[in-house]
Amino acid sequence: MYDYYDELGIGRETLLAQIKSQMSEKRFNHVLSVEKEAIRLAEIHGVDPQQAGLAGLLHDYAKELPDEEFQHLIKKYDLDRDLLNWGNNVWHGLVGIYKIREDFNLEDQEILQAIKVHTVGSSNMSKLDKVVYVADYTEETRNFPGVDEARKLADSDLNRAVAYESKSTIRHLCEKNVRIYPQALDTYNAFIQYI
């Protein structure tokens, strides 16, 4: 069987140690829970559990990177300069994949894409993208109003789960009076039909 740890060229213990070195204990526990939930959802919905698990483990790898490093990566890889007008919440997925590519021997474009869009989604998500986007929201340590409904939808209908999470996130951002990244609105517009 094809093994993604072979592709990385490092064993699980080394991978976990590297991830752990980049983040707080609390975030590391979140990452382990997202791995578990992504594998569970992948098995329900016919997605490769190895891809889902690895995407789950790496999805927040760049979350604690300093702003200056993200700004540097945006310029180094000649990414859309509009990204400079945003912050860590938007960067850690969309730009974080460049840090992951630098630190790991990971060229699986499907995994990288799922990590890329795990926060803002996209109007055209693969099943793997949806599993990671939803698992980040429904993993067992999450505890917020509506999480039980999100978990029910996650098990029964991935599109409805994405719609529910996108709508809840946008409502939450509106209530906090913060700007919404246009791609997050694209996700809402593409998925709200499934609510």
Q: CB neighbours (10 Å) of residue 104?
A: 18
Residue ranges in contact with ligand GDP by CB under 6 A: 60, 63, 89-90, 118-120, 136, 169, 172-173, 178-181, 184
Nearer to Fe ion, 62 or 190 (CB): 62
CB within 8 Å of 111: residues ≥ 6 apart: 4, 51, 54, 55, 58, 128
Nearer to ligand GDP, 173 or 192 (CB): 173
Q: Report the helix count and the strand count for the chain, using DSSP H and E.
A: 12, 0
Q: Looking at 8-16, 38-46, 55-63, 124-132, which segment touches Fe ion (CB under 5 A)? A: 55-63
Distance CA 160, CA 137 (A): 13
The CB-of-11 to ligand GDP minimum distance in angstroms stands at: 25
136: contact with Fe ion by CB under 5 A: yes
60 class by beta-carbon count within 10 Å (0-12 exposed, 13-18 middle, 19+ buried): buried
Nearer to ligand GDP, 29 or 159 (CB): 29
60: contact with Fe ion by CB under 5 A: yes
Distance CA 191, CA 195 (A): 8
Distance CA 192, CA 195 (A): 6
Residue with the CB atom nearest ligand GDP in the bound state: 89
Q: Looking at 102-110, 133-141, 155-163, 175-183, which segment touches Fe ion (CB under 5 A)? A: 133-141
Question: Comparing C-alpha atoms, which of 125, 139, 128, 164 is closest to residue 46?
Answer: 128
Q: Looking at 35-43, 106-114, 132-140, 144-152, which segment touches Fe ion (CB under 5 A)? A: 132-140
Residue 90 interacts, among ligand GDP, Fe ion, none and using kind-specific CB cut-offs from 5 to 8 Å, with ligand GDP
Residue 178 interacts, among ligand GDP, Fe ion, none and using kind-specific CB cut-offs from 5 to 8 Å, with ligand GDP
* Amino acid at site 170: I
Residue 39 interacts, among Fe ion, ligand GDP, none and using kind-specific CB cut-offs from 5 to 8 Å, with none
141 with 156: CB under 8 angstroms?
no
The CB-of-129 to ligand GDP minimum distance in angstroms stands at: 13
37: contact with Fe ion by CB under 5 A: no
